A and B are shown apart, each in its own frame.
Chain A
Amino acid sequence: MALINQRVEVPVIVDESKCLEKCTACIEVCPLDVLAKNPETGKAYMKYDECWFCLPCEKECPTNAITVQIPFLLR
């Protein structure tokens, strides 16, 4: 089978300047487990576009680094 990677706009935006390297709060609470740390930068990012726009990640972030947008297809 031939496969390609397609680009999508993801709903969760992380302000890297505010994200703490030692913190994993958002990653721990996400019910869909779609957030992860970028191993190179130590910053959180949305790894999978599978978001219920439910907001625990945003609520639990100690530095307000996260903004959840309504996913583009619904917006």
Chain B
Amino acid sequence: MSFQFDTQRIKTDVLVIGGGTAGTMAAIKAKQANPDAAVLILEKANIRRSGAIAMGMDGVNTAVIPGFSTPEQYVREVTIANDGIVNQKAVLQTGQLGFETIQELERWGVRFQKDPQGNYDVKQVHRVGKYVLPMPEGKDLKQILTRQVKRHKVIVTNRVMATRVLVSDRRAIGAVGFDVRNGNFVVIQAKAVILCTGACGRLGLPASGYLYGTYENPTNAGDGYSMAFHAGAELANLECFQINPLIKDYNGPACAYVAGPFGAYTANAEGNRFINCDYWSGQMMLEVWKELNSGKGPIQLTMTHLDDDTIAEIESVLWANERPSRERFHQGRSENYRTHGVEMNISEIGLCSGHSASGVWVNERAETSIPGLYAAGDMANVPHNYMIGAFVYGRVAGINAIDYIQNLDHLEPDADALEAERQRIYQPLNQPNGIPHTQVEYKLRRLVNDYLQPPKSGNKMEIGLNHFVRYQETLDQMEAADPHELMRCMEVHFIRDCAEMAARASLYRRESRWGLYHYRLDYPEKNQEEWFCHVHLKRSGSGEMELFKRSIEPYIIEVDLQREVYDVAVK
């Protein structure tokens, strides 16, 4: 087959890449800040139903609501949960701006749970403090956001995938990508670029072996991590993996955050509790791992002791929001919460700051280390940021980008760089007898499991790293039959970059931290003296991955890390 593709050139003031949770909010806020600015969302899918919240959400995990908790308490809890490795100023933004964000979402028609008196019905799931606000009617979140995007006259280009951020004069000046349906080459010039492409959810291979049976929406393949790296931006704490306790095989949340406040709990096969808190943390995951390896597993989320009405209420939330196909999964196995526990397992690894702390470095203004390049949401390094953090950082990025572009002109991208990227993108279409991208991806992610799934060991990870570096040669042999397959091939490139970054960062930090997320068998202890710091990674002048330590930003809220250790084991 021979292909003929056109080149499409677009100019905008602010370019938002990824129209999910953070991206739609960033674009809306940019327009609110300056209605005359041209704001464009570039989206690989269709913003109406894309990303993590394609089917809504069943709750806000990190809501700081006056009367229930304070921003300072929130910062303290995240600092302790993340073993002290935080920029507290960045975390504080989520604590301070979250409530305003919830109120604005409410004005737009998003419904949050209230008690009969009309107060927010906030639940305790965290170790200390109440932060979980249920959204039993949260299923239409994405359509509501899409309506606001249109109302604010944001321009949306769906089904175009970005592959590289353009940089000139050490500032971000646009992006390149292609239309995943007609294959056209797309070049966008912008004065500021906001990356909102979500987690790297296709890094490890799920135990089922199904490439798309991931926890994260599999369209989020680490695109933004890789694009930020190639643009020269710094990434932080990539060794702090995302690993979740999930419904075995189904690989989605069970979900203890919904069922816990009704009385459900996680138990081992003997029916005993082994964790005293269901909030997801590396420390909790380590307890899960130990339990599964102790002979007392498997483990399950237990609801059989609850009465029928309560279970029916839990089901009505879980079957309608977020991952509604949970219902047919259980039905297919003739399992019912009234009679069966939900068998849980440890997920494959990913990179995500929404759930843990691996992401592109940003400060409290959502600025990356490259002027004009912003990042928000799961890919931006603000620990445990979840959905509200994505909205908050979308807001912050949108407003600051508008401020930044005043008096800036567009820059013409370098013609050679554009041509090189065009060659790179279309290469898989020119080798009809190449290796199918599905096999290339399967093997890459299987190697990720073999060498990076914790517990980690230096010797193993060195072998893995070698595989990932050499894998570039395999990628060069990939074939694609159409623009859709080309999208998958480009994603495999992103996954390979993320695998190499995850291996290098994990080898660099020679200690154990964050429970299972960075549990090294060869350095099993936490070493505060040498490793109470961030690990940053960036592209060196010669294109290599360079790693270095960055000291922790001075705390603005006092936390005694000696005394307050995050420990959720049942003693």
Contacts and interface: CB of A to CB of B under 8 A. Distances in A.
A59 to B, nearest CB: 8
Contacts of B434: 1
A59 B332 CA distance: 20
Interface string A35-55: 000000000000110111111
Contacts of B180: 33
The interface centre, meaning the residue of A31, A54, A56 with most chain B CB atoms within 10 A of its CB, is A31
B54 A54 contact: yes
The interface centre, meaning the residue of B49, B209, B488 with most chain A CB atoms within 10 A of its CB, is B49
Contacts of A59: 55
Given A54-B54, A55-B55, A74-B250, A33 B181 contact: yes
A50 B46 contact: no
A32 B219 contact: yes
A30 interface: yes
11 contacts: A1-B435, A3-B436, A48-B484, A52-B214, A55-B55, A56-B54, A68-B325, A70-B250, A70-B332, A71-B212, A74-B251
A15 interface: no
Nearest to A47: B484
Given A29-B48, A71-B212, 18 more contacts: A3-B433, A29-B46, A30-B49, A31-B46, A32-B218, A33-B181, A33-B484, A47-B484, A51-B212, A54-B55, A55-B324, A60-B49, A69-B328, A71-B208, A73-B209, A73-B213, A74-B210, A75-B249
Contacts of A55: 55, 324-325
Nearest to B159: A33
Given A54-B54, A55-B324, A74-B329, A31 B217 contact: yes
Contacts of A75: 249, 329, 332-333
Interface in B201-224: 208-214, 217-219
B217 A54 contact: yes
B512 interface: no
B433 A31 contact: no
B55 A56 contact: yes
Interface string B96-133: 00000000000000000000000000000000000000
B19 to A, nearest CB: 11
Contact of A29 (B49, B208, B211, B212): B49
B213 A28 contact: no
B210 A71 contact: yes
Nearest to B210: A73
Interface residues of A, number: 26
Given A52-B214, A54-B217, A70 B46 contact: no
A33 B491 CA distance: 14
B50 interface: yes
The interface centre, meaning the residue of A29, A51, A60, A74 with most chain B CB atoms within 10 A of its CB, is A74
Interface string B227-260: 0000000000000000000000111000000000
Nearest to A50: B212
Interface of A: 1, 3, 28-33, 47-48, 50-56, 59-60, 68-71, 73-75
The interface centre, meaning the residue of B209, B212, B435 with most chain A CB atoms within 10 A of its CB, is B212
B45 A31 contact: yes
Contacts of A68: 325, 328
A24 to B, nearest CB: 11
B71 interface: no
Nearest to B487: A33
Contacts of B488: 50
Contacts of A73: 208-210, 213
Nearest to B248: A74
A28 B54 CA distance: 13
A54 B210 contact: no
A67 to B, nearest CB: 9
A30 B324 CA distance: 15
B445 interface: no
A56 B49 contact: yes
A73 B116 CA distance: 44
B212 A70 contact: no
A48 to B, nearest CB: 7
A48 B434 CA distance: 18
Interface in B57-98: none
A31 B249 contact: no
B355 interface: no
Contacts of A70: 250, 325, 328-329, 332
A4 to B, nearest CB: 10
Interface in B406-460: 433-436
A3 B377 CA distance: 40
B323 interface: yes
A57 B324 CA distance: 13
B138 interface: no
Contacts of A47: 484
What 3 A-B pairs come out closest when comparing CB atoms?
A56-B49, A29-B49, A31-B45
Nearest to B51: A31
Nearest to B483: A33
B45 A53 contact: no
A73 B180 CA distance: 27
Nearest to A29: B49
Contacts of B209: 73
Contacts of A1: 433-435
A29 B51 CA distance: 11
Contacts of B325: 53-55, 68, 70
Nearest to A53: B325
Contacts of A74: 208, 210, 213, 249-251, 329
